[in-house]
Chains A and B, each alone.
Chain A
């Protein structure tokens, strides 16, 4: 499929008034994916309770097509890392991520999953899951309100909407050169080995003394 020039918005709405729906393959495909994100049923700590609350009656994640929590990573599109990632748990999370089929997304929910949060000074706490796997959306908060998770969910939907199927800058999961699996860290005598995956984790250098 050649990347055709995008359809003129005015023309499209004019056609819509006449009862003719025009869409591109890319839009249709992304529309379908965006509205059926199945998360992995996977909770680590406190944030998992808010994640359940988001799926429960008051906030109802089903309105966004995300209520089908799959216990198996093989059937999931989205991993919500909800809670503190410990060094003992990190290899399992990377393994779960590797087992998810493409396209896959990661939401890092709450302070602990982003950076280790309040527990980051702990000897067994990983300072952010983005040391080993790429993260699409970060939600700060301890724990974030269910609305914040819904907001992140919509942010992810926007991201999916913007993914191109062809041409330069096409979505990473269609690009064979971009890895979709990452090495699982090993348990070492003092720490995980390696302590971060240098291909994934690029913290900015701080200039200060």
Chain B
């Protein structure tokens, strides 16, 4: 789908000096932490002039469950299942980010087959994340239920794959430093192929459902614009950054895993508004399907675990490492300091969701309060990662 169906002028742009009954009086509204479209327990203190947002302060911490402190009191292996619960929609990506950092910290090599499996699973996770996001965002916008139901129908197919591989639908706990926990069960690859081959059908249908929709266009185009300069300075990563036209995808830049072996394009937006951010997900889904097909075709045989690594009582050498991956929401980094003991001395998660919220206020100013939900939805946050 091309981006040519853009509205000629902005649909909802509040004129700066809009006269209102309140005559410059600001109305303070606390949105959240219990709100149907804040994607969890997120709160914003909004100052409104009429319906126009004049100030917005996000309030965090309602899901601050001390991930980092627990990580410092748990062994390196024990932290792996906790990473599942960071961004609880994308547990496989979190596993990979953590495994990658520990591998950097201890200088561990990963067998080829394990790297391919990681790519396949991380990309499947991206399908889950982007499909759910589209559903949630449209649900926030008032397309009550329907797109979300379609998205969750597809999500269930992929969760079935995760379950038959790792045993759990959401909390996979599948990767280990030095490889993966178990090999594919019989028949898995055929089923995965079927899911991947059926996905474009869903995407076509979904695009038909939403992209031409006049309401959607009116509510997303020219809403929540983000300039490339501000995006870079504020550390925005992931589809939100690329929607502003900055070509920065860690799969290309760092080339971790075996991504340099796969052919794929990085979609870029040009306006940096909610519509571009939304379409970025649709376009990325198509590229992801390409990566999946290539990885499934090339999957080599071999071991899935580095035999030298002993996961129990694992003690990496003294030092520190920062490893990062391109999670579906942006740059997910893990910073580990080892003092040579069985627990990390410092365990830090660089959460893309939190840092992508830095510019929420800048994006919302001057828009109506109804647009705040659309802008927030297009940033794509998960509270488990924002607050940790």
Contact = CB atoms under 8 A, between A and B. Distances in A.
Interface of A: 41-46, 48-50, 52-53, 56-58, 69, 71, 73, 83-84, 86, 88-89, 92, 96, 112, 118-119, 121-125, 142-143, 145
26 contacts: A43-B41, A44-B41, A45-B65, A45-B383, A45-B384, A49-B88, A50-B169, A53-B156, A56-B149, A56-B152, A57-B149, A57-B152, A58-B152, A71-B35, A88-B61, A88-B62, A89-B41, A89-B63, A92-B34, A96-B34, A118-B70, A119-B67, A122-B66, A124-B64, A124-B66, A142-B171
Contacts of B296: none
Closest 9 CB pairs of A and B: A122-B66, A56-B152, A46-B88, A71-B36, A119-B65, A89-B62, A57-B153, A58-B156, A57-B149
A71 B150 CA distance: 22
Contacts of B384: 45-46
Nearest to A52: B152
A42 B41 CA distance: 9
B85 A46 contact: yes
B174 interface: no
Per DSSP, chain A at the interface is loop
Which of the four size classes fits the interface of chain B?
A: 20 to 34
Interface in B177-236: none
Interface string B75-98: 000000110010011000000000
Nearest to B43: A92
A86 B66 CA distance: 10
A86 B40 CA distance: 13
Interface in B137-159: 148-150, 152-153, 155-156
Contact of B70 (A41, A53, A122, A143): A122
A73 B73 CA distance: 38
Nearest to A58: B156
Nearest to B88: A46
A83 B63 contact: yes
Contacts of A57: 149-150, 152-153, 156
